Amino acid sequence: MKRVYLIFFVIIIAILPACYIARIVTINVPTAHDYRFLPKNTINSNESIKEFSFINACNKIYFNIDSINYESVNYNFDEFLKEHKTQAFIIIKNDSIYYEKYFNKCKENKFVTSFSVSKSIISALIGIAIDEGKIEDEFCPITNFLPELLSKDSSFSKIRIIDLLQMRSGLWLNENFYNPFSDIGKAYFGRNLKKLMKKLKIEKQPGLSFNYFNYNTQLLSFILEKATGKTTAEYLSEKIWIPLGMESNASWSTDSKKHNNVKAYCCINAVARDFAKIGRLYLNKGLWNGKRIISEKWVEKSTKAIEKGFSYYGYQWWLNNAKAGDFMAAGILGQYIYVFPYKNLIIVRFGKSKDKIRWEKVFKELVEKIP
């Protein structure tokens, strides 16, 4: 039996591209440090433009965050964060930083990676493209921009951009993030994201059932590039990173230097404060220091519950409690940009893992503590 497994493994090695195998061996499963090994596009900021920075109010006595109650047990807050694999944790109220600490070898000027937080940023870019008239609206068929899908199945014309945004496209690939040989494994470890479009299947009628599917966001990126004539990283730099005066350049991991497709469903790498600025942009309904970056209408649509009973998702944004009006961008390893508008509050948490903590409950506890 061992010999059979060995022969099978040798065949797999022979068939699959060497670079693909090298990534699987090097990375194994997705981690918070993968951006160091993956090819990338630079997301440029403009270091000469710093029209806004959060006020550092960490030394002011404003609210007590020395301890936290989680699952009916009190913990020292710093120790709780460090023990549960946090890299960066920031609490911002009224544009002032009242808590900012880094753990587990992370520092203020070091990159953290987004994983699915990038989905919410892709949604913002789609909104901007609609605001600029490059996309008519979110009700356009995706085949207006990806006509090559029609040669596979004419039914792709029934899928609209809004179906991708709301995770109701009805599309299917074999998604097992921790299996490098699954389709999503090939998206993460492989070298050609567009090649995977040929494997897409329509499993259900579009617009009806919710299914969180990474490749929906990847298709949104391909649509953006067709609509704008720019790479997604270039468009992010031009429309958000530079106008917001981000603290530093960032990067977006790609499939390969040859194909240069950003991994849109994940993998923006930046300093934690710059992710907090994304939260501020949405807290202020798309307005940045008097300048309109995203239409208020788009922000409201994005952070409003899907119709027909889907109360926990909008346009690539999660709704922690739709009645409370809070919302968040969230990544698989415990990356969060959490916004609580009623208290003008932003919480950013990035980490190596969720470590079995329900961070949404932590945010709720903090919201209750903060006046």
Write the CATH number for 255: 3.40.710.10
At 25 the pLDDT is: 46
Residue 90 predicted with pLDDT over 60: yes
The CA-CA-CA angle for residues 70, 76, 81, to 5°, reads 75
Count of domains in the chain? 1
Instruction: Report residue 186's pLDDT band, with 50, 70 and 90 as the boundaries.
Output: confident
Q: Which residue has the tokens 């913002």?
A: 124
Tell whether 17 is covered by a domain: no
Helix (H) or strand (E) holding 366: helix 359-369
Q: Is residue 4 part of a domain?
A: no
Lowest pLDDT segment from 47-56, 329-338, 361-370: 47-56
Alpha helices in the chain (DSSP H): 2-15, 18-27, 77-83, 117-131, 161-165, 183-189, 214-228, 232-236, 272-283, 296-302, 359-369
Q: Confidence band (pLDDT; 50, 70, 90) for 107?
A: very high
Angle at 114 between CA 112 and CA 116, to 5 degrees: 165
Short-list 175, 223, 227, CA closest to 199: 175
Residue 144 is assigned to a structural domain of this protein: no
Q: Per-residue confidence at 279, pLDDT binned at 50, 70, 90?
A: very high
Domain assignment present for residue 132? The answer is: yes
Question: Is residue 44 included in any domain, yes or no?
Answer: yes
Residue 299 lies in domain: 33-139+218-369
Q: Is the pLDDT of residue 309 over 70?
A: no
Domain membership of residue 202 (yes or no) is: no
At 32, the amino acid letter reads A
Alpha carbon distance 309, 137 (integer Å):
23
pLDDT tier at 5, thresholds 50, 70, 90: very low
Residue 278 lies in a domain: yes
**Residue 126 in tokens:** 């789609």
222 contacts 215 by C-beta, under 8 angstroms = no
Residue 228 host element (H or E): helix 214-228
Cα 364 to Cα 371: distance, rounded to the nearest angstrom:
13
Residue 312 lies in a domain: yes
